[in-house]
Structure 1
Amino acid sequence: MTDLSSPLEFAHGPAWRNRLALAPLTNMQSNADGSLHDDEYRWLVRRAEGGFAMVMTCAAHVSRAGQAFEGQLGVWDDRHLPGLSRLAAGLRAAGAVSSVQLQHGGRRADERLTGLPVVAPWDDPEKGATALTTAQVEQVVQDFVAAAVRAERAGFDGVEIHGAHGYLVAQFLDTRRNHRSDRYGGSADNRSRIVHEIIDGIRAATGPNFQLGLRISPERYGIVLDEARALARDVLADGKLDYLDLSLWDAFKEPYEEAHRGRRLLDVFMDLPRGAARVGVAGKITDAASARRCLEGGADFVLIGKAAIVHHDFARSALRDPDYRAAALPVRRDHLEAESVGPRFLNYLATNWDDFVA
């Protein structure tokens, strides 16, 4: 069994000092133009100081039209480089490997924030979204690639493609609604094509020491579990991806689909050949024992979300104490403020999560 404190090496980029990574978390602390705010800098660097091996930003939009929420970090223009460079340097000084999560909101983008029409893989009157043309899909691919190059210029160690949670890339994977007639819709191969093109484009445009990950939701959002497994198999096998990040919501739950009941969702993916790639899992991992159970089940690393908000030093504490457990929710406002959760992040947690802030 691999210990949580064991370093983790990758085909590209630096090794991680342990098996605990900060999950990409919406925190709404960036400036209105997408540039880095001091509160976001403090929130992320504090987690690096708290022992996390890899610290990832929130979902950062790769184009102006892709912004999905207020206070979202931007990586679509060179105006964002000073803040990104400052953040990359701060994370490195604190001992963590750094990553930017690359995202486009698609039908979940907010026209009030972008001033631009909402786009999606299909026409969606309910969301006021119009279908991307083939040329526009190709431009989206290039936007992801350009954002990755910008992150590399800023000094980040890598990027993660956000293909989960019903944002644009995940929308292409939707079996219910993506019935496009071009090469980006219809069959499973066509629906996943954008994922492979973004991976190929980023790997070709960045250096040999740049780390590349992909986050997927293996179920919900119109995604069929067998197709998610097939996509995971393919991206792990092609040698271009450094890690796959499985966002499970609950790392130990059973799948929704009846055909896959009787085992953990985690277990659906653990037997896939990985080559040099690594596999991480996220979802309700709030104590050291649960993190170890993920490694025992076959994961290479775990991503910590809520527990890392509550404790900036969850990683250090879990490595020191095998029985360590994060404080139960809800927690007091003053506790979160002491953990470098800024006012806007705190308001988001209090407004959007019923049980987070006491």
Structure 2
Amino acid sequence: MTDLSAPLDFARGPAWRNRLALAPLTNMQSNDDGSLHDDEYRWLVRRAEGGFAMVMTCAAHVSQAGQAFDGQLGISDDRHLPGLSRLAAGLRAAGAVSSVQLQHGGRRAETRLTGLPVVAPWDDPDKGAVALTTAQVEQVVQDFVDAAVRAEKAGFDGAEIHGAHGYLLAQFLDTRRNHRTDRYGGSADNRFRIIHEIIAGIRAATVANFQLGLRLSPERYGIVLDEARTLAGDVLADGHLDYLDLSLWDAFKEPYEEAHRGRRLVDVFMDLPRGATRVGVAGKITDVASAQSCLDSGADFVLIGKAAILHHDFARQALADPAYRATALPVSREHLEAESVGPRFLDYLATNWDDFVA
């Protein structure tokens, strides 16, 4: 049985000091131009000080057109480098491996913020989105590659490609609506293509020890579970990734699809051959027992979200106490302020997360 305190090594990049990583969490604490704000720096570095092995930023937009929410961290321009470099250095000094999550909002981007038209794999009048041309898709691939190079230049140990949660890359996976007639739509292989091209492009453009991950959500957003399993199997087999991050919302629930009922969602992926690529899971992991259950099921590591908001030192506490669990919700504003949750993040939690803030 693998223990949560066991170090984790990778084909590329530094080993992690334990099996607990900070999930990439929208926190709306960056400056309006995408540069790092002191509140976001404190929020992330405090988690590194709290014992998490790897600390990942929120989704950082790889192009101006991709910005999806207020206060979003940017990695789309060299003007973001000073703040990113400061953050990478702070995380390293606190003992954590560092990563930037790379994201494009697609049809979920906000013209109000970007000043640019909303783009998507298909025309979407309801969202005011226009279909990307083939050349524009190729530019999106390059934007992800350029952002990863920027992360490397800033001193981060690696990056994660955000292919989940209905943002642009997940939109290409949508079986319901991605009926493009070029090489990026229609068949499953075509819909997967943009992700494979981004992975290969980043691997070719970064140094040999750059640690690269991919986040996938295997349900919702028009994604079919069997296809998600196929894509996961593909990226595990090709050896370009160092880890696959499965965002399951609830790792222990049954799948939505009738054909897959009768087992937990986490178990759908654990038998896939993975070679040297590691597999992590996220979704309602708020105590040591559930984290350990994921490892016992075959995961290599777990990503902690809500519990890491509540406790900057969830990792340290979990490694010290097998019975440890996050405090029950709701919690006071004072509690969150003491955990280095800044005012904008606090307001976001109070407004958008039911029963989080008392």
- TM-score tier by shorter-chain length is over 0.9
Does 1:2 find its partner at 2:2?
yes
Does 1:64 find its partner at 2:64?
yes
The equivalent of 1:177 in structure 2 is: 177
The equivalent of 1:254 in structure 2 is: 254
Q: How far did 1:287 drift?
A: 0.3
Does 1:139 find its partner at 2:143?
no
Aligned partners of 1:357 and 1:4: how far apart in 2?
29
Q: How far did 1:354 drift?
A: 1.6
Aligned partners of 1:196 and 1:330: how far apart in 2?
41
1:345-356 aligned at under 5 Å gives the runs 345-356=345-356
- Spell out, residue by residue over 1:200-238, the C-alpha distance to the aligned partner (whole angstroms, 9 max, x if none): 000000001100000001111000000000000000000
Q: Secondary structure at the match of 1:21?
A: strand
1:1-358 aligned at under 5 Å gives the runs 1-358=1-358
Q: Which amino acid aligns with 1:151?
A: A
- Spell out, residue by residue over 1:1-60, the C-alpha distance to the aligned partner (whole angstroms, 9 max, x if none): 100000000001000000000000000000000000000000000000000000000000
Q: Which amino acid aligns with 1:173?
A: L
Aligned partners of 2:248 and 2:129: how far apart in 1?
28
Aligned partners of 1:201 and 1:310: how far apart in 2?
37
What root-mean-square deviation, in Å, do the aligned CA atoms of Structure 1 and Structure 2 show?
A: 0.3
Q: Structure 1: which 5+ runs fail to align?
A: none
Aligned partners of 1:54 and 1:355: how far apart in 2?
28
Q: Structure 2: which 5+ runs fail to align?
A: none
Q: Which amino acid aligns with 2:301?
A: F
Q: Which amino acid aligns with 1:353?
A: W
Aligned partners of 1:314 and 1:251: how far apart in 2?
19
Q: Secondary structure at the match of 1:317?
A: helix
Q: Which amino acid aligns with 2:135?
A: A
Q: Secondary structure at the match of 2:209?
A: coil
Aligned partners of 1:206 and 1:34: how far apart in 2?
23
Aligned partners of 2:355 and 2:200: how far apart in 1?
41
Aligned partners of 1:235 and 1:314: how far apart in 2?
30
Q: Which amino acid aligns with 1:53?
A: A
Q: Secondary structure at the match of 1:192?
A: helix
Aligned partners of 2:153 and 2:25: how far apart in 1?
23
Q: Which amino acid aligns with 1:179?
A: H
- What is the aligned length? 358
**TM-score, with length taken from structure 1:** 1.00
4+ residue runs of structure 1 moved beyond 3 angstroms? none
